[in-house]
Amino acid sequence: MNGSISMQSKFDEIRAKIEQKLEGKDSGIVKISFPVGELGNLKLCEDIHHAFSAEIIGDNLFIKFNGAEKEIIHRKLTNSFENQNQDWLASSNTICVVRNKQYRSDIGVWFRPLTKQQKKNPIIYACPPPNLWIEVFYNNESDRSHAFNKINWLRQNANMTGIEFVAIGLPSGTNFSSNPNPENIMVHATSQIARLTRAPYICHWDLNFNEIWYKMDWNQFIILRCELNAKLIADIAELRKENIKLKQDKEEIEARFIKLEQSDKEKTDLIAKLDQSDKEKITLLLN
């Protein structure tokens, strides 16, 4: 009993520290460092992961703010992969354990089913990494470095020969245009010789972990080694349509709000011009 109380007290202390560090943050990646060994208890780590979408690497905790844009891509790709092979498990933001480090893939596909315990308590029962690991990031230094540092560490420090890695770079802005030729036939994207400076783009690692870069464009796809139908570019391109719709909705709401404010101001100005007797009549009518 005392152990449970002590564990809860420790979790409350850590949670308060995390919430303090997150105050005022709504984008990017937040790194929180803890004293050596403070995050060593597996049950404590499970509780942290239930409360926060975090990664725990040694004594450091990372929290990544995805936002609606990334979540849309996660959902579309996860649903697409599930539909293509229902014997495999496709999941978004699932925690897994690699050499005592607790990582989350933005989208993961497991060729073999996870146990019930691994799904419920992935830290205690050491959920393995997915066979297909996809990271989605904004094309800025912080977001991009976090994604590539994670993939590079996984490649170099674990037996990752059976894992296929894909990294998807999104533009930091939201200047998406609609598909000019949606009726065109899908074609395979052309690989590039080096990393592109402007997003959107995709990096796909081959069997020898060579980086293969693709410029993302309309009506294109790439082939993954696991032979899933990689309509990555087409699926992600749908985000542009949703972004445009969100922007239009935002502008419409703002216009309506301005109109309401103007209407309220006109009413206020009109009432101010009325004499006292008229004001009393209006008050009686309103009541």
Domain boundary among 242, 261, 276: 242
- The residue segments making up the domain with residue 45 are 1-65
pLDDT score of 244:
45
Residues 164 and 249 in one domain: no
> Three-state DSSP class for 2?
helix
Residues 162 and 177 in one domain: yes
pLDDT score of 158:
63
Regions of the chain where pLDDT drops below 70: 1-5, 158-161, 173-178, 229-287
Residues 119 and 15 in one domain: no
pLDDT score of 155:
84
Give the integer Cα–Cα distance in Å for 81 and 61. 30
In contact, 88 and 231? CB cutoff 8 Å: no
Q: Which contiguous run of DSSP H or E holds residue 106?
A: strand 101-110
Instruction: Say how many domains are in the chain.
Output: 3
Residues 59 and 87 in one domain: no
CATH number (domain holding residue 99): 3.90.1570.10
Residues 145 and 57 in one domain: no
Give the integer Cα–Cα distance in Å for 20 and 7. 20
Domain boundary among 20, 46, 65: 65
Domain boundary among 65, 96, 118: 65
Predicted TM-score (pTM) of the model is 0.76
* Position 138, amino acid: Y
pLDDT score of 45:
94
Give the integer Cα–Cα distance in Å for 15 and 96. 21
Q: Judge residue 204's burial from the number of C-beta atoms within 10 Å of its C-beta, 0-12 exposed, 13-18 middle, 19 or more buried.
A: buried
Q: Output the 3-class SS for 227-270.
A: CCCCCHHHHHHHHHHHHHHHHHHHHHHHHHHHHHHHHHHHHHHH
Give the angle subtended at the CA of 29 by the CAs of 97 and 107, to the nearest 5°. Answer: 45
Long-range contacts of 156-159 (CB under 8 A, 24+ apart): 157/98, 157/99, 158/98, 158/99, 158/129
Residues 178 and 230 in one domain: yes
Residues 222 and 254 in one domain: no
pLDDT score of 181:
81
Residues 140 and 207 in one domain: yes
Residues 153 and 47 in one domain: no
pLDDT score of 287:
52
> Three-state DSSP class for 111?
coil
Neighbours of 139 (CB within 10 A): 17
